Amino acid sequence: MHYSALSLLKNGLTGNRGWTQAWHKAEPKPSYDVILIGGGHGLATAYYLAQQHGITNVAVLEKSYLGSGNIGRNTTIIRSNYLLPGNTAFYERAMKLWEGLAQELNFNTMVSQRGILNVFHSDPQRNAYVRRGNAMRLAGVDAELLTRDQVREHLPFADFDNARFPIRGALMQPRGGTVRHDAVAWGYARAADDRGVDIVENCEVTGFRIEGGRVKGVETNRGFIGAPKVGLAVAGSTSRVAALAGLRLPLETHVLQAFVTEGIKPLVDHVVTFGAGHFYVSQSDKGGLVFGGDPDGYNSYAQRGNLPVVEDVAEGGLALFPSLSRLRVLRSWGGLLDMSMDGSPILDKTDIAGLYLNCGWCYGGFKATPASGESFAHLIAKDEPSDLIRPFRLDRYRRGAMLDEKGMGAQANLH
Amino acid sequence: MRIKCPYCGERDLGEFTYLGAANLKRPDPAAAGAEDAFFDYVYIRDNPAGPLAELWYHGGGCRSWLRVLRDTRNHEIESVELAKPEAGKP
């Protein structure tokens, strides 16, 4: 059913009894044209396959319930403040899609372009941020350099005269912000389901059927499902699932923690990052501060982290906003990351015909969701990458054409 | 997660720095097929969900490199030993 102000009014007046299920619980059919593994980027891919390429005989397989994986574990930030060509264009495409997403999906995804401020604390850091801002503006992305006094207008409660890390200014992307992540999963699921896509929950892939170098389908805990094309979008578990098809990839799985405090009145109006450590924060509409920092730094599939990083994140937060010290943390959790060897994603075909890879998002997969889905749908439908994702090909490591935004080299836990 | 260093005893994780999988061996650049071997060595990882032998550096203590066998599914540590055997011992 179509959501509108009128339907809201009508159902409000009739006891909200008229709402129908947003998507149906599909049983897997024996075969499909395309199978997508993973109910995150896979949902977006399914939507764009149906919407832009007319391919609707599609199943999305999610091993648990919808929204249980990384699409519901991130800190909901969207931005396109990248430095390197390749990254800038791709994430800006995602930003453009975010801007129209609620209308396109007819679902309130709560896209809030509240602006992101990257605070800097020294002259060299200012130079680096000026360079980044200029690169963004050259690529048609919005960027503004804020002076110390301008930052003070936005963040009057920040510690400007911190002895070690005084705030000297900030790079701001006004169009950056946050999106409600559950609504993204639900909105894409509903829109894809509307167009005939089957969303199969609690369906875990346990193997691939590959004959003559060509994929024939997947084995799951709910039986074999056939398909000539299979897209793998299971960031965090990619190595494990790809190994079922015999692939070895330039990935390590790491854990990243996130935190939410008790709800308070509006305090942080933007997304803010601390420049002298790693701490970032935004405030949810419910009032809780949502924040995080660096990944834990060791290989992990545990979906939970350890205390040294909690301490580090808290220290960064207090150096920026001392007033946070009395807030109580309500929840913390961990999500799994595909850390690629250059810190950038991989979107490509594989050596197995009909098997496509969407992985390596590191800690930045959520903001990419719409562009990732759109590009992955194009890759699967046309069997060749669009220009937007040519920099993300799998063979770039062998070719030496790394996309190393942080300049850290092939050490996964440093990206 | 705490690591039991052979010299220092059980210590907080914050004293240690992570390098990664311990099974990576720098290939011989003069050997045939060195290019492929280096590609594997630099980029490709087994990344298992389960026991993983890995290298940690005890920078906040004895500054030894340790070889730790740890389960990546639950962070349980099975064994810790010095990465390089001590001089004079087998």
pLDDT at residue B8 in the model:
96
pLDDT at A379 over 80: yes
CATH of the domain at B39: 3.30.2270.10
CA distance A398 to B38: 10
pLDDT tens figures, A292-309: 999 999 999 999 999 999
Last residue of a domain, one of A313, A340, A367: A340
Beta-carbon contacts of A54 under 8 Å, excluding residues fewer than 6 positions away, are none
pTM, two decimals, is 0.95
For residues B30-59, give the mean pLDDT.
96
A141 within 8 A of A77, measured Cβ to Cβ? no
* B72: nearest CB among A297, A300, A307: A300
* B43: nearest CB among A308, A311, A397: A397
* Total length of chain A: 415
Answer whether residue B60 is part of any domain.
yes
CATH of the domain at A63: 3.50.50.60
Contact across the interface for A253 and B20, Cβ inside 8 Å? no
pLDDT at A127 over 60: yes
For residues A364-370, give the mean pLDDT.
97
Please tell me whether residues A334 and A364 are part of one structural domain. no
Please tell me whether residues A155 and A263 are part of one structural domain. yes
Answer whether residue A350 is part of any domain.
yes
B7 within 8 A of B66, measured Cβ to Cβ? no
How many domains does chain B fold into? 1
Answer whether residue B87 is part of any domain.
no
pLDDT at residue B84 in the model:
86
The domain in which residue A303 lies consists of 116-177+252-340
Chain A residues in contact with B1 (beta carbon < 8 A): 306
For residues A235-264, give the mean pLDDT.
97
* Total length of chain B: 90
**Other beta carbons within 10 Å of A206:** 12
Please tell me whether residues A199 and A223 are part of one structural domain. yes
Read off the pLDDT band of A237 (50, 70, 90): very high
Contact across the interface for A299 and B74, Cβ inside 8 Å? no
Query: Taking CA atoms, what residue in A is nearest to B42?
Result: A410
Tell whether ipTM is more than 0.90: yes
Contact across the interface for A299 and B42, Cβ inside 8 Å? no
Answer whether residue A6 is part of any domain.
no
Chain B residues in contact with A300 (beta carbon < 8 A): 72, 75
Answer whether residue A1 is part of any domain.
no
A296 within 8 A of A256, measured Cβ to Cβ? yes
CA distance A302 to A336: 8
Please tell me whether residues A232 and A202 are part of one structural domain. yes
Chain B residues in contact with A298 (beta carbon < 8 A): 18, 54
Please tell me whether residues A399 and A329 are part of one structural domain. no
Contact across the interface for A253 and B49, Cβ inside 8 Å? yes
* B47: nearest CB among A253, A297, A308: A253
Q: Does B44 touch chain A (CB under 8 A)?
A: yes
The domain in which residue B55 lies consists of 2-25+32-82
**Residue labelled with tokens 């949502």:** A290
pLDDT tens figures, A64-104: 999 999 999 999 999 999 999 999 999 999 999 999 999 99
Answer whether residue A334 is part of any domain.
yes
Contact across the interface for B18 and A298, Cβ inside 8 Å? yes
Contact across the interface for B1 and A306, Cβ inside 8 Å? yes
- What are the helix and strand counts (H, E) for chain A? 10, 19
CA distance A91 to A139: 11
pLDDT at A247 over 60: yes
Beta-carbon contacts of A246 under 8 Å, excluding residues fewer than 6 positions away, are A210, A352
Answer whether residue A9 is part of any domain.
no
Here the tokens at position A54 are 């007319």
pLDDT at B90 over 60: no
Q: Which is nearest to A370 in space by CA: A355, A388, A383?
A: A388
CA distance B1 to A87: 35
Q: How far is B52 from chain A (nearest CA, A)?
A: 9
Query: Taking CA atoms, what residue in A is nearest to B68?
Result: A298
Query: Taking CA atoms, what residue in B is nearest to A308?
Result: B14
Q: Does B74 touch chain A (CB under 8 A)?
A: yes
* % pLDDT > 90, chain A: 98
* Interaxial angle between packed helices A369-382 and A41-53, expressed in degrees from 0 to 180 and rounded to the nearest 10: 50
How many domains does chain A fold into? 2
Q: Does A413 touch chain B (CB under 8 A)?
A: yes
pLDDT at A29 over 90: yes
CA distance A90 to A378: 14
Answer whether residue B88 is part of any domain.
no
For residues A234-252, give the mean pLDDT.
96
Please tell me whether residues A223 and A280 are part of one structural domain. no
Answer whether residue B89 is part of any domain.
no
Contact across the interface for B45 and A251, Cβ inside 8 Å? yes
Last residue of a domain, one of A314, A340, A366: A340
**Side-by-side strand order, sheet with A34-37:** A198-200, A58-61, A34-37, A229-232, A355-359, A346-349
Please tell me whether residues A382 and A321 are part of one structural domain. no
Please tell me whether residues A238 and A261 are part of one structural domain. no
Answer whether residue B77 is part of any domain.
yes
Chain A residues in contact with B42 (beta carbon < 8 A): 341, 397, 410
What torsion, rounded to 10 degrees, do the Cα atoms B43, B47, B52, B57 define?
A: 40
Best mutation site among B3, B47, B66 for testing chain A: the one with the most A CBs within 10 Å?
Answer: B47
Please tell me whether residues A293 and A332 are part of one structural domain. yes
Answer whether residue B53 is part of any domain.
yes
pLDDT at B88 over 90: no
CA distance A135 to A126: 14
Read off the pLDDT band of A396 (50, 70, 90): very high
CATH of the domain at A130: 3.30.9.10
Contact across the interface for B43 and A301, Cβ inside 8 Å? no
Q: Are strands A58-61 and A34-37 parallel, antiparallel or unpaired?
A: parallel
Contact across the interface for B72 and A311, Cβ inside 8 Å? no
Please tell me whether residues A283 and A335 are part of one structural domain. yes
DSSP output for A53-116: H----EEEE-SSSTT-SGGGTS--EE-----STTHHHHHHHHHHHHHHHHHHHTS----B---E
Answer whether residue A59 is part of any domain.
yes
| CA A100 from centroid of its chain's CA atoms | 17
Answer whether residue B6 is part of any domain.
yes
Contact across the interface for B1 and A411, Cβ inside 8 Å? no
Q: Does A351 touch chain B (CB under 8 A)?
A: no
Best mutation site among B3, B12, B38, B45 for testing chain A: the one with the most A CBs within 10 Å?
Answer: B45
Q: How far is A313 from chain B (nearest CA, A)?
A: 13
Read off the pLDDT band of B85 (50, 70, 90): confident
Last residue of a domain, one of A287, A322, A340: A340
Please tell me whether residues A243 and A278 are part of one structural domain. no
CA distance B40 to B62: 32
Q: Does B75 touch chain A (CB under 8 A)?
A: yes
pLDDT at residue B89 in the model:
58
* A341: nearest CB among B14, B43, B46: B43
For residues A138-151, give the mean pLDDT.
97
3-state class (DSSP) for residue A403:
coil
Please tell me whether residues A325 and A242 are part of one structural domain. no
Q: Which is nearest to A1 in space by CA: A24, A23, A20?
A: A20
**Other beta carbons within 10 Å of A384:** 9
* B49: nearest CB among A251, A301, A398: A301
Answer whether residue A185 is part of any domain.
yes
Answer whether residue B74 is part of any domain.
yes
Contact across the interface for B21 and A299, Cβ inside 8 Å? yes
* A250: nearest CB among B13, B43, B73: B43
Answer whether residue A21 is part of any domain.
yes
